[in-house]
Amino acid sequence: MSLELVLITGMSGSGKSVALRALEDAGYFCVDNLPPELLLSFVDLEERNQRRRVAIAMDVRTATSLPLVPGHLRELVHRGIAVRPMFLDATTDTLVRRFSETRRRHPLSRTVTEAEGDQHRAVVEAIELERELLADLRQRAHVIDTSVLRASQLQEYVKSLLSAPLAQLTLVFESFSYKRGIPVDADYIFDVRMLPNPHYEPELRELTGMDAPVIEYLQKHQEVQDMFADIAGFLDNWLEPLARNHRSYVTVGIGCTGGQHRSVYLVEKLAEEFGTRWTTLKRHREMDVRKGPGQGRS
């Protein structure tokens, strides 16, 4: 059995340390902020030590040598190492708020005095610069949007991703509410707000798209079935080409107004439809958020 390497990269404040703790709990040998120059020699050492699961976090603190990483990853794959790149992201507003709450300095922040009134702008500029520096790594990894996730939810999601076989494409269906923003980790977004809304039926308002009365209500409307058929048809056409292009994950976002009824119903139905042919995961962003009190930082 070859060594499995999980590479965690992403935006400062997006939850990389939380993800690394989840991997440590799952039995991975974890190293934070490994300089990219040491990646190949570190993997050699771990193979000699006969480790089977290793996780490494890299970020913009080693910005000058980050361009080395894509080439190193290609070499490791060529050597038979099972590489799982994950990129943690969040909206700029979320990252700014997290830095403000923790009073941490962004690694790329320039010195700006409070008297100039530019502290907020300096953080925003640092975040946008960081996005530019990490763009190549983001493009090559599975992106996880932590904007509305608590630490425990992020840990659960990372562990669920690790349960999926690496050798084949994994399809992730995610329901969400447009009121809370579009998930930045979605590869495809389908807007289903034009479909009949169970929210306006008093007896259905507090239920979800997984409850039988809501399912029965939505199944009665032809436009709901047409939307399902259109999304399924699109995926039927393009998943095979994506898999041939060596994509490890494809995230499909289904959005409605509240993220409770229509999007949840369609995610459940699509996951059932494609689960017989592809490794399939599902997430209900707004329902997951409501499971616990408050919204912590990840």
Q: How many residues does the chain have?
A: 298
Binding residue positions for GTP = 59-62
Query: What is the spatial distance between Cα 274 and Cα 280, in angstroms, rounded to a whole number?
Result: 7
Residues 6+ apart with CB under 8 A from 190: 227, 231, 252, 253, 254, 255, 266
Query: What is the spatial distance between Cα 248 and Cα 125, in angstroms, rounded to a whole number?
Result: 32
User: What phi, psi does 251 have (nearest 5°)?
Assistant: -105, 125
Q: How many helices (H) and strands (E) does the chain have?
A: 10, 9
Closest CA to 169 of 263, 91, 280, 253: 280
Place of tokens 């590489």: 83
Binding residue positions for ATP = 10-17
Binding residue positions = 10-17, 59-62
Residues 6+ apart with CB under 8 A from 183: 145, 147, 174, 176, 251, 253, 285
CB–CB of 22/158 below 8 Å?
Answer: yes
